[in-house]
Structure 1
Amino acid sequence: MTTEDDKPTTPTASAADAAAPGAPAGGSGTTLSDAVALLPVGEESRTGYERNSFRHWIDEDGDGCDTRREVLLAEAVTKPEQGPRCTLTGGSWVSYYDEVEVTDAKKLDIDHMVPLAEAWDSGASQWTAERREQYANDLGSERSLVAVTAKTNRSKSDKDPAQWLPPAASAQCTYASDWVATKLRWKLTIDTQEKTALEKLAGECEDTVVEYELAP
């Protein structure tokens, strides 16, 4: 995952739950260009951010598999064998950022599509700790969390699409769609440079659509 001091303010319920301006309840088949236009522009601030502000890799359903392993199981091309305490052996995955096949789960990172620090900058600083935990372990959308090679994940770090795109050209339209969908799902803002980069991608990805549901 990306490695990302004023304490964050405690949000009111309305601040935590209010929809971003212009963000509808959900979208199916929205063009990338139209979806980018739904995202409100805001100023980003890293003030008060700490990675442990987002508790992650929890076992939400109590089945012995934490969020990391749940993603690995869901995204496996060849399913790994599952042992005690959700120990995974074998299996294969394709890291879509760089189109690399991986046969050792230890060589994969689970990437937050919108990194934790970027989420903080874009609105999560105003969330409750519980809401940030939900974000960090979001299994409700298949692209909120993705299994990718450690190399590409660490290259990405906490960068937005104005600063980093997947090295595989074939992945970039999908990545833009996934990024925008995640920001809409969690009612996050974008900054001006990010908006410019996403608009450019939308122009290059005319057939790309965005589907999302607001996080509960």
Structure 2
Amino acid sequence: MTGSREGPSPQVRETLTRPRGLDIDHMVPLAEAWDSGASAWSVKRRQAFANDLGDERSLVAVTARSNRSKADQDPAQWQPPLADARCTYTADWVATKLRGNLAVDKAERQALRQLAAVCGQETVEYEPAPAD
């Protein structure tokens, strides 16, 4: 799968008139990253992941409501409410996991496969994050 995004997160379509209504969401929540291998990283590498500006998919502007809804869940537990946003979300999730060289658990893998099956044949492109 490959995902290209124009503008902020496609998770929710909503017009905001004040930036206070936005949060910066980690595509892969930090708690999920921790459970997926970041716990073995150095503090410097965890900080780099948490503030990754090297890939536009890593940090996404979303509504505060969407960010609270997702919290620290992976795709087995949470998916965007808009069905047409799920393919981009899936590609971005996979790219972010690959970029950080993070593991995927069984339930997460199954959910990603189900999501990808609906999205068609695509390729995920990513650049590995710099190591320590």
Q: Distance in 2 between matches of 1:127 and 1:135?
A: 10
What does residue range 96-135 of structure 1 map to in structure 2 within 5 Å?
Answer: 96-135=10-49
What does residue range 153-192 of structure 1 map to in structure 2 within 5 Å?
Answer: 153-192=67-106
* Bigger Cα Rg: 1
> What does residue 199 of structure 1 align with?
113
Q: Does the CA-based 8 Å contact 1:97-1:171 persist in structure 2?
A: yes
CA distance change for structure 1 residues 208 and 103 in 2, over 3 Å: closer, same or farther? Answer: farther
Q: Bigger relative contact order, structure 1 or 2, given CA contacts below 8 A and separation 6+?
A: 2
Residue 100 (structure 1) shift: 1.2
Partner SS for 2:72: coil
Residue 114 (structure 1) shift: 0.2
Q: Normalising by the residue count of structure 2, what TM-score does the alignment of the two structures yield?
A: 0.91
User: 1 or 2, which has the higher strand percentage?
Assistant: 1
Residue 182 (structure 1) shift: 0.2
Q: Distance in 2 between matches of 1:185 and 1:124?
A: 12
- Match status 1:210 vs 2:124: yes
Q: Distance in 1 between matches of 2:40 and 2:76?
A: 24
Runs of 4+ deviating beyond 3 Å: none
Q: Which amino acid aligns with 1:204?
A: V
- Match status 1:149 vs 2:63: yes
Q: Distance in 2 between matches of 1:212 and 1:111?
A: 19
Gaps of 5+ in 2: none
User: 1 or 2, which has the higher helix percentage?
Assistant: 2
Residue 209 (structure 1) shift: 3.1
Gaps of 5+ in 1: 1-30, 33-74, 78-93
Q: How many residues align?
A: 128
Q: Distance in 1 between matches of 2:52 and 2:79?
A: 22
Q: Does the CA-based 8 Å contact 1:173-1:208 persist in structure 2?
A: no
Residue 189 (structure 1) shift: 0.2
Q: Distance in 2 between matches of 1:118 and 1:202?
A: 20
Residue 102 (structure 1) shift: 1.7
